[in-house]
Amino acid sequence: MTAADSMRLLVRQIVTFAGVGVLAAVGHYGTLIGLVELARVAPVPATLAGFVVGGVVSYGLNRRHTFASDRPHREATWRFALVAAVGFLLTGLFMHLFVDRWGAPYVPAQLVTTGLVLIWTFLANRIWTFASAGR
């Protein structure tokens, strides 16, 4: 694969990852806002519930469309779960800091948190979770 081909693949993966992220974010933010506004759940546990909803959406779409992975599900799912577990912990930590410690409104705090965690999940999933099984 040439450098230009590698760059095109990377750009395609980033664009597709962002599109999948929008769909996953609908589930995540819908759960977050619904739990906070309708069920009066605190923002940190509500966002963690939303993270799980978004994660379910993200796995299937990223495996098939973003990374076109040939890694068997029995390998990819536990790897994805481990990357998601780190993302889950980072989400909880950032939201705790932004909302509970620093008093930020929960939706803007979640937007910043999403951006930070997105970097981790893209890189970890690209390099490790969905990399070719032969790599």
Distance separating alpha carbons of residues 24 and 84, to the nearest angstrom: 13
Q: Whole-number mean pLDDT of the chain? A: 93
Q: What is the pTM of this model?
A: 0.82
Count of positions (residues) in the chain: 135
- Residue 131 is predicted with a pLDDT of 87
pLDDT surpassing 60 at residue 135? no
Phi, psi for residue 20 in degrees, rounded to 5: -60, -40
Distance separating alpha carbons of residues 43 and 5, to the nearest angstrom: 43
- Residue 60 is predicted with a pLDDT of 85
Q: Residue for token digits 């993966």?
A: 13
pLDDT (tens digit per residue) in 35-88: 999 999 999 999 999 999 999 999 989 888 898 888 888 998 999 999 999 999
